[in-house]
Structure 1
Amino acid sequence: MLMNFKNGTLVLKWQRLFENNERLFWVLHTVGWAGFAVVYYIGSFLHEVRPIFLFIIILNSYAGWILTIPLRYIFRWARKQTVGRLLFTVLVSTYLVALVWAVVKNVNYWEIYKHGFRPEAWYMYFSNTIDSMIMIGCWAGLYFGIKNFEMLQREKQNALKASTMAHQAHLKMLRYQLNPHFLFNTLNAISTLILMKENDTAEAMVSRLSDFLRYSLDNDPIKKVPLGQEIKALRLYLEIEKVRFGERLEVTWDIEDDCEDAMVPSMILQPIVENAIKHAISKLQEGGRLSIVASRFGNDLLLDVADNGPGADISDGQLSRVGGVGLPNIKERLHALYNRNFAFTVEHNQPQGVRVSLRMPYDVKDV
């Protein structure tokens, strides 16, 4: 546990390092020049082991560390210019810094390491200038490479953020498409109860409607809720509908105990039940029956809503009804949340009616 905590802290520190461009530059800048000193010393160790040579390498690396700092600010300005001006500025500034660094290295080598012994034009020693240009050119290449990488990562993050926001907005749009017919019918029923002086029943219906709407609006459509909580809200909805239909609406429940804690999209069953009441129960003069079943099969949660209504036209496991919103809405939400790891089918119930079946991953919230 302590090891995991330390590892997590270390990862967090590294994330903070890479999120801070200022700190990241100084770390990479220093590590890069320190690495140059180490590699250069290892490459020269076979033929030069005196401590004075290590001192010269440290001086040269420190000089490179100092001289390349202005390049950062020059390149930062150049990146905002046109391509031609950018290339000109990078080439000229890189050459000038390499030239100055070559002179510094020659001073260190001939005046300190060789104790004043030097050839003619020692300060413009050609091979040293070429080596310096290559090194400073590598520094410039790494600078622009890292900057371009950061820019690409930032664009990817922005694109991912925009995609996530669009995804969430789409889910919310699907989730909040409340059927106005339900509200109209409920309010109309409450009005009728008031006119009939059945004030206690009307008050109970208003209370249930308030609780149901509070539940439907308070729950974030992006998150999931326990099935038990979803069933509780569905019972509220059906109690409201029972005031309208009375004995004409019969509901049977078969919810397995280990399904109560399964996480499901909020308000995933209500549109199915509403669809059954609208197109099945309301069409039967004697009323009808709804059956709501929740079971577990392996790693899947299975939900079924069946009615004994007059049935419907079904094609390829989906209703052929035109203009419906509820069931296509559910399918889109399931696809957005589970990608392809779900099933949503509509079939004929036996002996009559329609059965809607859902399959989704069985997931329980961590305690």
Structure 2
Amino acid sequence: MHKIFEDRHRQFWILHTLGWLGFAVVGYLGSLFQEMREAYIFVVALDAYAGWLLSIPMRYAYQRIWHWAPWKMVLSILAMAFVLSCIWTVVKNFNYWEIYRHGYRPDDWIQYFRQTSVGFYVMLSWSGLYFGIRYYQTLQLEKQKLLTASNKAHEAQLKMLRYQLNPHFLFNTLNAVSTLVLINEAETANKMLSRLSDFLRYSLYKDPINKVALAQEIYAANLYLEIEKVRFSERLSIEFDIAENTQQALVPSLILQPLVENAIKYAVARQSSGGLISIKARKFGHDLLIEVADNGPGMPEQPETAPNGGGVGLVNTRERLAALYDKNFSLVLTPNQPKGVKVNIRIPFEVEHNDEKLA
């Protein structure tokens, strides 16, 4: 039964039919109190069927005006409900006179529109139910998208927390700091501890459900890369090319982390000479374009060893983007020139209005 109502098209026809069937039942029960003849059941049935047919076009008309301005939408609903109620009233009166009154014809044609107000009320009620149900469905869909996005964001946060609790990551970082202290590089060691503290604080206190300014994501990515730079020393080079007009663009929190991690794991760590990681951001029309590229060995032939083959990094990122932007995004993995891999992300350009401090 649940699967039947998951299809919104099927759901409409079921509710539409049940609604008019209920109208027929109420009309028939009302006739019993008025001691109408049994022939009236045919009048009620035909009236309900006519209403069932005439209200179908309203569905397709309302789909077209769904995104109109409120005042235009209200006027359109009133006009369509009135026109259809007039037609329906004529049909109902004709059925009544033809079936119940045995072919009676009134002398005044205006009599065919008698009780149009009742038909208008019914058509407006149908319209109210249609918009109410559709708004409810839209609200439920948005809630489902928000829940999915929340789950994916928390998965990304848990993935980032792995670095905080990963013994190798902490050991390598603290060991590098210890080495700096031993060689009397106390100032550099202090800077590394400060970066590690900021990195852990950012990952702990930034809510991954919310979107944040791109500048904040660049800040977090730079913290992580600077920490890793201690591990790889001169083997790791970093380049940022962030357009000024993209600094306050909104992006999903922690969206860069799995991309930078992949670049470290598959490009820098696998080369004795290290590698270069570059992060770029540009505004193009109404979109924000982000690129994370490296000059590593490139994409392996075996999918399971490719940067997106393991599924954890890019698959998680793609699912988060799909949950947040539906189909209005793209994530493409392509070879970099002259070598390496680059990941390109396109999302709608949204501006951060309330600036936040980066730390």
Cα 1:182–1:312 change in 2 (3 A) is farther
Q: How does 1:239-254 map to 2 (within 5 A)?
A: 239-254=226-241
Q: Which residue of 1 aligns with 2:93?
A: none
Q: Which one is further off, 307-316 or 354-363?
A: 307-316
1:182 aligns with 2:163: yes
Per-residue Cα deviation, 1:258-298 (whole angstroms, up to 9, x for no partner): 22233333322222111111222222234222111223445
Q: Which residue of 2 aligns with 1:114?
A: none
Post-superposition offset of 1:304: 1.7
Q: Percent identity?
A: 33
Tell me, yes or no, if the aligned pair for 2:333 and 2:342 is still in contact at 8 Å: yes
Post-superposition offset of 1:206: 4.7
Cα 1:83–1:251 change in 2 (3 A) is same
1:333 aligns with 2:306: no
1:312 aligns with 2:299: yes
Tell me, yes or no, if the aligned pair for 1:205 and 1:243 is still in contact at 8 Å: no
The unaligned stretches of length 5 or more in structure 2 are 1-18, 37-105, 182-188, 355-359
Amino acid across the alignment from 2:123: G
Amino acid across the alignment from 1:208: D
Q: Secondary structure at the match of 1:351?
A: coil
Q: Secondary structure at the match of 2:297?
A: coil
Post-superposition offset of 1:84: 7.6
Q: How does 1:236-275 map to 2 (within 5 A)?
A: 236-275=223-262
TM-score, length-scaled by structure 2: 0.56
Post-superposition offset of 1:168: 0.9
Q: Which residue of 1 aligns with 2:344?
A: 357
Q: Which residue of 1 aligns with 2:76?
A: none
Cα 1:314–1:211 change in 2 (3 A) is farther
Q: Which one is further off, 265-274 or 340-349?
A: 340-349
The unaligned stretches of length 5 or more in structure 1 are 1-78, 97-126
Per-residue Cα deviation, 1:26-68 (whole angstroms, up to 9, x for no partner): xxxxxxxxxxxxxxxxxxxxxxxxxxxxxxxxxxxxxxxxxxx
Amino acid across the alignment from 2:169: T
CA–CA distance in structure 1, aligned partners of residues 207 and 279 of structure 2 = 24
Let me know the Cα RMSD of the aligned residues.
4.1
CA–CA distance in structure 2, aligned partners of residues 192 and 278 of structure 1 = 20
Per-residue Cα deviation, 1:50-96 (whole angstroms, up to 9, x for no partner): xxxxxxxxxxxxxxxxxxxxxxxxxxxxx9x9778623333356899
Amino acid across the alignment from 2:288: L
Per-residue Cα deviation, 1:91-133 (whole angstroms, up to 9, x for no partner): 356899xxxxxxxxxxxxxxxxxxxxxxxxxxxxxx8xxx999
Q: Which residue of 2 aligns with 1:165?
A: 143
Q: How does 1:99-114 map to 2 (within 5 A)?
A: none
Q: Which residue of 2 aligns with 1:89?
A: 29
Q: Which one scores higher on RCO, CA 8 angstroms, separation ≥ 6?
A: 2
Per-residue Cα deviation, 1:192-247 (whole angstroms, up to 9, x for no partner): 579889695785355123322135x42534x4x33222211222222333344344
Q: Which residue of 1 aligns with 2:203?
A: 213
Post-superposition offset of 1:139: 4.6
Tell me, yes or no, if the aligned pair for 1:288 and 1:307 is still in contact at 8 Å: yes
Cα 1:93–1:147 change in 2 (3 A) is farther
CA–CA distance in structure 2, aligned partners of residues 93 and 236 of structure 1 = 80
Post-superposition offset of 1:156: 1.4
Q: Which one is further off, 334-343 or 154-163?
A: 334-343
CA–CA distance in structure 1, aligned partners of residues 148 and 197 of structure 2 = 30
CA–CA distance in structure 2, aligned partners of residues 321 and 261 of structure 1 = 28
Aligned residues: 252
CA–CA distance in structure 1, aligned partners of residues 260 and 218 of structure 2 = 11
CA–CA distance in structure 2, aligned partners of residues 144 and 279 of structure 1 = 66
Post-superposition offset of 1:364: 3.2
Amino acid across the alignment from 1:153: F
Post-superposition offset of 1:357: 1.9
CA–CA distance in structure 2, aligned partners of residues 170 and 315 of structure 1 = 30
Q: Secondary structure at the match of 2:334?
A: strand
